[in-house]
Amino acid sequence: MLQLHLFTDQLCRLHSPGMGHPERPERLDAVTAVFDTCDGKPGVTIDPGRDATDAEITAVHTAALLERVRDSQQREIAVFDADTVANSHSCAAALRAAGSACAAVDALFSGQAQRAFVGTRPPGHHAEADRPMGFCFFNNAAIAAEHARRHHGVSRIAIVDWDVHHGNGTMHSFYADPGVLYVSLHQFPLFPGSGRLEETGSAEGTGYTLNLPLAGGRSDNEYLFLFDTLVVPLLDRYQPQLVLISAGFDAHERDPLGSMLLSDAAFAAMTERLTGVAERHAEGRVAALLEGGYSLYGLQLGIAATIDGLRGAQRAAPADARQSATATGGSHTIVDSAVEQIAERAADTLSRQWGRFTV
């Protein structure tokens, strides 16, 4: 039976960047509410995770950054930038988030689990090597990837980031590195401003970054069109030995920060496609790591859908895809021309390195 490990701990509720901040403690309650519904289901284990070691953090970040975050424990409030604020518990929460991402990787490679969802906060994908940024202190996805490489001998890891914001920190961590393929679908222009199509990697890492910058208002069918024409075919060529998902839920239609229109069914459908990739190349190993998502209800729906996708539970197909399947026998027809253009440009760029892509 498929084993799914769900990681969370109330320690991650104690981090608070202050009143009115969208990355608020109640987000962890949304995680807990979903995990409670999974508790006791066959194959599901709920795990409090563990703290990251200094070596795990400094595999991605500078020792100076770790010290700055650690020093914040002595203060009531430590302001790293206008968005990124710590209280005295934030360091502990951030260490638990990064360590649990590593624990998820360990569970997958020990064979204890084939799928994992890490429901921790603070998120990670904006954190750069030398500075916290955008609500993020340590880059959980980058730390998990580096941990997989150093401790489990993996040479090809894919990180797929569907958070509505571009994961600048993750991209920069592996920009010149073909050992990690980074794929991001994000709203553009939007914070942090990076993630243009032309950013494809550098040196030996050229071609190992795929950015799909999208105008707001994109729907399920458009995301799935991009998955089916570009993301999945690219992953199939790369043949990752581990699939990590930077699972933000701020592209959900209910989210107050993003303007995308994804229903929860889209998150299940994207997850199923990625578990398919993992089944073909990675012995089924997929870990989803929570990033953003600022509607508490949208977050809950998105997490539940992603967990369904990880478990292979059947859900209704997204409305748009169903409509298009009825009309055309399965092809994607309801796609904005700007999305088609992005897809064609991305296909051209990818074709130079990876062989022909057809949109």
Residues of this chain that bind Zn ion (CB under 5 A) = 163, 165, 248, 250, 292
Nearer to Zn ion, 98 or 185 (CB): 185
Element at 44 (helix H, strand E): strand 44-47
Backbone angles phi, psi at 133, to 5 degrees: -165, 145
Q: Of the listed 5, 61, 125, 126, which one is catalytic?
A: 126
Residue 163: CB minimum distance to Zn ion, A: 4
Residue 127: CB minimum distance to Zn ion, A: 13
Residue 126: CB minimum distance to Zn ion, A: 8
Nearer to Zn ion, 123 or 201 (CB): 123
Distance of CA 145 to the CA centre of its chain: 12
Distance of CA 184 to the CA centre of its chain: 9
Type of residue numbered 97? A
Q: Residue 112: which of 40, 209, 7, 183 has the closest Cα?
A: 7
Nearer to Zn ion, 250 or 264 (CB): 250
Residue 280: CB minimum distance to Zn ion, A: 29
Concerning whether 186 is annotated as a catalytic residue, the answer is: no
Residue 165: CB minimum distance to Zn ion, A: 4
Cα angle 141, 145, 147; round to 5: 115
Please tell me the distance from the alpha carbon of residue 24 to that of residue 266, in angstroms, as a whole number.
Answer: 25
Residue nearest Zn ion, CB atom distance: 292
Tokens of 185: 């679908």
Residue 220: CB minimum distance to Zn ion, A: 18
Please tell me the distance from the alpha carbon of residue 45 to that of residue 321, in angstroms, as a whole number.
Answer: 33
Nearer to Zn ion, 219 or 246 (CB): 246
Tokens of 137: 């202190």
Nearer to Zn ion, 131 or 186 (CB): 186
Element at 267 (helix H, strand E): helix 264-281
Please tell me the distance from the alpha carbon of residue 310 to that of residue 322, in angstroms, as a whole number.
Answer: 21
Please tell me the distance from the alpha carbon of residue 306 to that of residue 107, in angstroms, as a whole number.
Answer: 19
186 C-beta neighbours (distance < 10 Å), count: 27
Active site positions, annotated: 126
